[in-house]
Every structure is written in C-alpha cells, then in structure tokens.
Amino acid sequence: MKLLRNVMAPLLLVLAGAAMACTAESGRQRVPLLELYTSEGCDSCPPADHWLSMLSVRGVSPHRVLALAFHVDYWNHLGWTDPFARPEFSERQRDAARRNRARLVYTPQFLLDGADYRRSRLRDDFSERLAAIGSRPAGAFIRAGIHGKDPQQSLHLTVNGIDPAHRSLARVYWAIYENRLASAVSAGENRGKRLEHDAAVRHLAGPYTTNAEGILALAAPLRKERNWKIADLHLAIFVQQAATGETLQALSLPWCTHGH
C-alpha cells in the first residue's frame, strides 16, 4: 500500500494540474487589453513585434495585461502576403480609429485599454500605466473552460458582475492566439528577414452582448487548423466598453486537449 500511495501521489498531482489548465477565472483586479496592429509587409513592425514578445521576459504576465497581435491585410498587395493577416483584423483597427476619432490607421500601432499607446523613447511608462489600470476594480467577472477532448472540444464561457452603468455597452470577445510563430519573408519591405511572432491572433469571435442582468453564458465549438501548434495555442476572453474601448476585464488560458 505504501508503494501504491507513492505512485498515486504524483499521478494525482499531474491530473490535478491538467484539470486546472483547462479552466480559468478572472480576479478582482482589472486586466487591460493591449492590442498590436502589425504586418509582415511593414519594415517598421518587427521591433514592435519583438517588444510584445519580450513582455513575458520582463515579468509582464497575462495576469497584468492581455497582449494580442492582430495582423492586418492592407499591406498584402505591396509584395508580401502575411500568412497571419485577416481582413476582420483590419476592420477592427478601423473601428477603433473611428471610435477614437483618428484620421487614419497605421502599423505598427498599439492600443492600450482601447486608446492609442505610443512608447516613449526617453522613459518607459508601460509598467506605470498597467499599475494605474490594475488599481481599479474589475468591471466584469469571467469564467472560462475547455470541454471535451481533441478534436471535438468547446469553449464554455460565463461573464457576469458587470456594473449596471456598463451593461448596455459591454461587448464580449474570445480569441485563439498562438505563440512562437516565424516566417521567412521572401518579398516586400522585409525581404530576406526571418520574422518571429508571439500572441498572434488566429481567430476572433464576437462581439457578444449580455442580457439585461449583465450575464452572458456561451458554449462555442473550438476548431483549429492543421498547422496550428497545440502546445503554443491559448484562448483569450475580454470584455470591452463599446463606446470607449475600455477593458472591463480580460483573461487567458492555455489550450488543453483533455477538457472536462
């Protein structure tokens, strides 16, 4: 019996860890959304892509900010077709520009908490900005889990706890994103370069609205393409205020192949 207990104990720990990886809940502190609009056809974009990739190295985890890279398609006609670009990502950037009364869209562009964010060359205020946003209480509560086994899996999502003042304009999105991507670019402004990407959005769903009580309960099938690497896939869920782009709450969890 002692030998059996010694064998079973680490097994139970592994199973518990696996189950935990399939579910996630947001906390009391607000987590903002950081959006990068980028393209492999843009020669000024690789430094922005690298800065985004280095956030985790600097200790900026998804518990502080949900960072997502949206590859736009309006560079595709200039010599190189970005394999990660989607027209809906370009339209999302245009929607943000209209909301912020900007005259044009450009790459690379960062949006932090719905507003244009430009990094200063003299002083890096990013941590200060995150601390200020994180000091505010969460504007929504998110619970997410992956159910079923690969290849028949689904996302089960619950959003609630939205302040009555924001319920009518609360918009919920979920996304699949992938880390550790790379391209050998053979044309366009980045010809001859090997470009690396993290947090590249592969799929975006939404916006969804809540009911009159500020609650959304959603089950959606999870489909992935053959060239997506399961070990590098994550799910992201975020709730935004439609009029301002302010993040009410954001959450991410790694993809797992052994959901509930």
Q: What is the pLDDT of residues 3-13, one digit of tens each?
A: 334 433 333 33
Number of Cβ atoms within 10 Å of the Cβ of 106: 13
State the Cα–Cα distance between residues 251 and 214, nearest whole angstrom.
18
pLDDT surpassing 80 at residue 14: no
Q: What is the pLDDT of residues 84-125, one digit of tens each?
A: 999 999 999 999 999 999 999 999 999 999 999 988 776 788
pLDDT value at position 8?
A: 37
Structure-token match 């009911």, residue found: 211
pLDDT value at position 18?
A: 41
pTM of the predicted model, to two decimals? Answer: 0.90
Confidence at 46, pLDDT banded by 50, 70, 90:
very high
Q: What mean pLDDT is reported for the chain? A: 90
What percentage of the chain carries pLDDT values higher than 70? 90
Q: What is the mean pLDDT of residues 35-54?
A: 97
pLDDT value at position 31?
A: 97
Q: Name beta bridge partners: 63.
A: none
Confidence at 259, pLDDT banded by 50, 70, 90:
low
Q: What is the mean pLDDT of residues 27-48?
A: 97
pLDDT value at position 140?
A: 97
Q: Which helix (H) or strand (E) holds 7?
A: helix 2-21
Stretch among 116-125, 165-174, 211-220 having the lowest mean pLDDT: 116-125
Q: Which helix (H) or strand (E) holds 214?
A: none
Domains, the chain, in order of start with CATH, read: 30-254 (2.60.40.10)
Please count the CA atoms within 13 angstroms of the CA of 91 that sit on its side-chain side.
4
Structure-token match 């470009």, residue found: 195
Q: Are 30 and 248 in contact (CB under 8 A)?
A: yes
